A and B are shown apart, each in its own frame.
Chain A
Amino acid sequence: MAGISIKNLSKHFSSRDADVAAVSDLDLDIKDNQFVTLLGPSGCGKTTTLRLIAGYIRPDRGTIHVGNRLVSSPDMVVPPDARHMGMVFQNYAVWPHKTVFENVVFGLKVRKTPAAAARKKVEETLALVNLTGLGERYPSELSGGQQQRVALARSLVVEPEILLLDEPLSNLDAKLRERMRTELKVLQRRTGITFVYVTHDQSEALALSDMVAVIHGGKLQQYGTPFEVYAKPANRIVADFMGLVNLLPGTVITTQDGVATVQAAAWRLELPAPAGARAGDAVEVAIRPENIRLAAANGQAGLIAAKISERTFLGSISEYLAELESGPVLRVQTHPLQRFAVGDRVAVEVDASQCSVFRRDPEKTSSADGASR
């Protein structure tokens, strides 16, 4: 089987009016049998990365190895038809003029598998994706979810070492998406194929992956387990992209042994120091809404007070906007049974161990300051 090793990969596209770096200096090590997600907003370069892996496009710089075989470099690209990979496209790309069976058997025919064996194999694969008995249908007679499974079966039947999936669930409705998500995960476990999965949906990435590569602006921002990228974001972009986050402006007071004491709003927090941080540096403290606790204010000393300015009931949770006395507004999520009214004064408590701290971009400092006041 095969892992994928990407080194220093760059690709830019020139169009009439701009030269866009789609991917720049990307390094990624995808281990065999893993379910790896490339996550990022649209236009971040994740699909370009996937298409580079598939061999549809030639890199400007850098290399891609599958196992220890070089498959892509600026001088040489093994074409897609010789890569033994599978790919599931966002629009499924199920051939409308072929039946389900003809779609799925295509790869086996190309490989000159004897007819009887091919038929058996197709039937097994159709069973694997719960499409038994639909072989003679045309794609136009299938639902979106079923077409999705045809696309999957078509890729799986040739037993690829690597399966590339380009936002395969984005065209399905919410319920179906949930179900296909589970099925994909089970499928990956069962087949042991390396899955490289592209999505812009962070919850999908967290739910499915062994490893998540967060990509933004053509650059790899963080590569880690779902828990790591969510709870320990490497930078502000990752923190921002991986769900709701409060960003509090702050200042480093002291640093010692890799621990920085940061003053943010009325809190003094001890946090792991960002690389190269020194006393006086402007920083941002990222706190997720679910890691802030609210309590009824009873005048205790040491607690930070705030006023509830907005309440939203979301079913399984309640969300509040709490306006700190020093100015900043925090988004807070609580259990729905803990209830406050707009205008209530509350005590706000944050857990330093669940906060991350990033240095602020010097040139962006002024505008960020302006926004928070």
Chain B
Amino acid sequence: MTTVTMPAPAGFRRVPRLRLEHVIMAGAVVALVILVVLPLLFLLVGSVRGERGVSFEHFSEVLSGRLYTSALWNSLILGAWTGLFSLVIGLLLAWAVSRTDVPGKPLIRVTATLSYLSPPFLTAIAFVYLFSPNAGIINVILRDVAGLPWLTFNIFSMTGLVLVTVMHTFPFVFLLASSALQSVDASYEEAAQILGAGKLRTAASITLPLVAPAVLSGTLLAFVNAIALFGSQAIIGLPGRVVTLPTRIYALFDYPPEYGLASALSLVFVIITVAALYLQRAFLARRSYVTLAGKGARPQLMALGALRWVVFGFAVLVFIVSIVAPYSTLLAVSFSKSWGLEFWKNLTLANYKFILFEYNVTQRAILNSLMLAIVAASIAVLLGAVIGWIELRTRAPGRKLLDYASLVPLGLPGIVMAVALIQFWLAMPLALYGTLAILLLAYVGRYIPLGVRSANASLRQVDPSLEESAQILGASWTTTMREVTLPLIRPGLFAGWLLVFVPVIQELSASILLFSSSSITLAVAVFNLYETGYTEPVAALAMVNMVIIGVAIWLAYRVGGGGISGAGGREGTA
């Protein structure tokens, strides 16, 4: 080899072949393999393992049995309706916010953000309290007080399921569409207008085609997310006999568990999700020309006249249905002794006392979830940073593959992730099933794409020359990371941490198959209490869940924001 036989010349450090960075990077790769690649392989193997060797009996059962095809069909219907309504609501609100003079824009933005962050199964529970056919309070009022029984609404139906799901998914369209609409440089539209195109024509022939990829991509994301939500589909769908893929897979784990069928059905599920996500990425890739627009982008606002109050009214309606109604319901239920028409006569703190101080299951659940969310978010972000760095800064062979592997979990509904982990860890000599560790693996694996993406996005903001200039001044990799890279991407990493923390603290789809009584989590506790009929304590526990999310967002905002405004703030004082 060329590693010299002469003594290293004065002034040059001998460079060891194996440096710390290689160890760290190899560690990240191994972690990704254990978290994602191996469980998926075992899922695949499990789905084709028959009594004797390879067999496709599970697939043929899954694709022909009425139980399974109806679940598949229901999932697709749910996804299609949800996608459609998300598109309509999201695009309308996005257009109103970014292109018109509609009043109350902050309200619209807050509505979208809160709807996105709200745990969908909590919204579902709240709507059950309002619209369950017999006891739902609004139905009771309509039927017994107002005497209008024909106005009652049965939430336990496909319609109800779509309603509850859309509230969580329309922000996908809203966020992507409004950012696209805002980044279309006004000069594109002005150029069309100066050539004689009217407002409508400009909107149809210039603006819409420019933002269409983003809007379609948001719709597909709404579809993918809608069909993966176990919680609302179990809470709303099962009583209404609307069985979907996640709930069908869940049912396969009733004793005796049907691992093979569950694996096959999971794979079918994955294929749908992955196909949708593939389309979504293809659409999104086409919008690159929009993001090119520079600082000059200052979209014109359309004067809506009287119509703006109609649009505003619609926004308020969305706000009431998706935020005010579920939250105030949960709040009211949590303080009432017994939920019903006259709940306000007996307000009490007993429900909070019960879940926080008396019932050890909920206590344990809260602690478990807090711990899991903190650890999972930290691991996902650090792992994401290393993987992002490998992809962007090295020429390591297979780095693209690594990046793809880290995005795979995006196509895995939570319940599928759980099935894969069960298949994998049941085959390992390590008894992880039912421990906190397997939940941690599930969370990190599920949300590693969020960590990778946020690290990736922040790393792209850091020009490689900032690292290279540290390197040529003699700094080692570790020094460069510590002194230059990490401080610069810190705000992005905090944002990523939050992005992982929030869904983990409310995770239900994977946890529901992986928990045990000792490793119960917050969302599972809510679900179990709900199923056993503890109406009021459920609401109190839901409020605790919301408070934790709120505090996390506030904290991350304070700490993470400090990273950027710290540098900016010093400008003012200097």
Give the interface of A toward B (CB within 8 A): 54, 56, 69, 71, 73, 75-76, 78-87, 89-91, 93, 95-97, 106-107, 110-111, 136-138, 140-141, 151, 154-155, 158, 164
Give the interface of B toward A (CB within 8 A): 1-3, 9, 11-13, 15, 463, 465-466, 468-476, 479, 483-484, 487-488, 567-568, 570-571, 574
Please tell me if the beta carbons of A107 and B468 are within 8 angstroms of each other in the complex: no
B19 to chain A, nearest CB (A): 9
Q: Given the known A-B contacts A97-B488, A97-B567, A138-B570, are A56 and B468 also in contact in the complex, defined by CB atoms under 8 Å?
A: yes
Please tell me if the beta carbons of A136 and B574 are within 8 angstroms of each other in the complex: yes
Closest 8 CB pairs of A and B: A107-B473, A93-B465, A76-B2, A89-B465, A82-B13, A75-B2, A93-B469, A110-B474
Please tell me if the beta carbons of A110 and B567 are within 8 angstroms of each other in the complex: no
Task: Please report the C-alpha to C-alpha distance between residue A151 and residue B568 in the assembled complex, in whole angstroms.
Answer: 21
Please tell me if the beta carbons of B3 and A158 are within 8 angstroms of each other in the complex: no
Please tell me if the beta carbons of B472 and A69 are within 8 angstroms of each other in the complex: no
Q: Report A-chain residues with C-beta under 8 Å of the C-beta of B487.
A: 97
Interface centre among B474, B571, B574 (most CB of A within 10 A): B474
Please tell me if the beta carbons of B574 and A137 are within 8 angstroms of each other in the complex: yes
Please tell me if the beta carbons of A84 and B11 are within 8 angstroms of each other in the complex: yes
Task: Please report the C-alpha to C-alpha distance between residue A85 and residue B13 in the assembled complex, in whole angstroms.
Answer: 13
Q: List 5 A-B contacts (CB under 8 A).
A: A54-B472, A81-B471, A87-B472, A138-B570, A140-B568
Please tell me if the beta carbons of A81 and B570 are within 8 angstroms of each other in the complex: no
For B479, give its contact among A76, A79, A110 (CB under 8 Å).
A110
Please tell me if the beta carbons of A89 and B469 are within 8 angstroms of each other in the complex: yes
Q: Report B-chain residues with C-beta under 8 Å of the C-beta of A96.
A: 488, 567
Q: Report A-chain residues with C-beta under 8 Å of the C-beta of B474.
A: 81-82, 84, 107, 110-111, 158
Task: Please report the C-alpha to C-alpha distance between residue A218 and residue B190 in the assembled complex, in whole angstroms.
Answer: 43
Task: Please report the C-alpha to C-alpha distance between residue A84 and residue B11 in the assembled complex, in whole angstroms.
Answer: 8
Please tell me if the beta carbons of B473 and A154 are within 8 angstroms of each other in the complex: yes
Q: Report B-chain residues with C-beta under 8 Å of the C-beta of A138.
A: 567, 570-571, 574
Minimal Cβ-Cβ distance residue in B for A88 = B469
Starting from the known contacts A54-B468, A85-B472, A136-B574, 15 additional A-B residue pairs (CB-CB under 8 Å) come to: A73-B2, A79-B471, A81-B471, A82-B12, A84-B474, A89-B468, A93-B463, A93-B468, A96-B488, A107-B475, A110-B473, A110-B479, A137-B574, A138-B574, A164-B472
Task: Please report the C-alpha to C-alpha distance between residue A69 and residue B14 in the assembled complex, in whole angstroms.
Answer: 13
Please tell me if the beta carbons of B475 and A81 are within 8 angstroms of each other in the complex: yes
Task: Please report the C-alpha to C-alpha distance between residue A95 and residue B474 in the assembled complex, in whole angstroms.
Answer: 16
Please tell me if the beta carbons of A80 and B468 are within 8 angstroms of each other in the complex: yes
Interface centre among A90, A106, A154 (most CB of B within 10 A): A106
B458 to chain A, nearest CB (A): 13
Interface centre among A78, A86, A110, A151 (most CB of B within 10 A): A110
Task: Please report the C-alpha to C-alpha distance between residue A111 and residue B13 in the assembled complex, in whole angstroms.
Answer: 12
Please tell me if the beta carbons of B463 and A69 are within 8 angstroms of each other in the complex: no
A78 to chain B, nearest CB (A): 6
B36 to chain A, nearest CB (A): 25
Task: Please report the C-alpha to C-alpha distance between residue A141 and residue B568 in the assembled complex, in whole angstroms.
Answer: 10
Minimal Cβ-Cβ distance residue in A for B474 = A110
Please tell me if the beta carbons of A106 and B475 are within 8 angstroms of each other in the complex: yes
Q: Given the known A-B contacts A97-B567, A140-B567, are A76 and B3 also in contact in the complex, defined by CB atoms under 8 Å?
A: yes
Minimal Cβ-Cβ distance residue in A for B475 = A110
Q: Report A-chain residues with C-beta under 8 Å of the C-beta of B568.
A: 140
Q: Given the known A-B contacts A95-B466, A138-B570, are A158 and B2 also in contact in the complex, defined by CB atoms under 8 Å?
A: no
Please tell me if the beta carbons of A141 and B571 are within 8 angstroms of each other in the complex: yes
Minimal Cβ-Cβ distance residue in B for A58 = B395
A91 to chain B, nearest CB (A): 6
Task: Please report the C-alpha to C-alpha distance between residue A86 and residue B469 in the assembled complex, in whole angstroms.
Answer: 8
Task: Please report the C-alpha to C-alpha distance between residue A342 and residue B314 in the assembled complex, in whole angstroms.
Answer: 71
Minimal Cβ-Cβ distance residue in B for A139 = B567
Please tell me if the beta carbons of B466 and A79 are within 8 angstroms of each other in the complex: no
Task: Please report the C-alpha to C-alpha distance between residue A91 and residue B475 in the assembled complex, in whole angstroms.
Answer: 20
Please tell me if the beta carbons of A93 and B466 are within 8 angstroms of each other in the complex: yes
Interface centre among A56, A80, A91 (most CB of B within 10 A): A80
Minimal Cβ-Cβ distance residue in B for A82 = B13
Q: Report B-chain residues with C-beta under 8 Å of the C-beta of A93.
A: 463, 465-466, 468-469
Q: Given the known A-B contacts A73-B2, A76-B2, A80-B472, are A91 and B465 also in contact in the complex, defined by CB atoms under 8 Å?
A: yes
Please tell me if the beta carbons of A69 and B12 are within 8 angstroms of each other in the complex: yes
Q: Report A-chain residues with C-beta under 8 Å of the C-beta of B574.
A: 136-138, 141
For A81, give its contact among B1, B3, B11, B472 (CB under 8 Å).
B472
Q: Given the known A-B contacts A69-B12, A87-B468, are A158 and B571 also in contact in the complex, defined by CB atoms under 8 Å?
A: no
A100 to chain B, nearest CB (A): 11
A76 to chain B, nearest CB (A): 4
Minimal Cβ-Cβ distance residue in A for B470 = A106
Q: Report B-chain residues with C-beta under 8 Å of the C-beta of A110.
A: 473-475, 479
Q: Report A-chain residues with C-beta under 8 Å of the C-beta of B476.
A: 81
Task: Please report the C-alpha to C-alpha distance between residue A158 and residue B471 in the assembled complex, in whole angstroms.
Answer: 13
Task: Please report the C-alpha to C-alpha distance between residue A140 and residue B476 in the assembled complex, in whole angstroms.
Answer: 26
Q: Report B-chain residues with C-beta under 8 Å of the C-beta of A91.
A: 463, 465
Task: Please report the C-alpha to C-alpha distance between residue A164 and residue B469 in the assembled complex, in whole angstroms.
Answer: 11
B386 to chain A, nearest CB (A): 19
Minimal Cβ-Cβ distance residue in A for B483 = A106
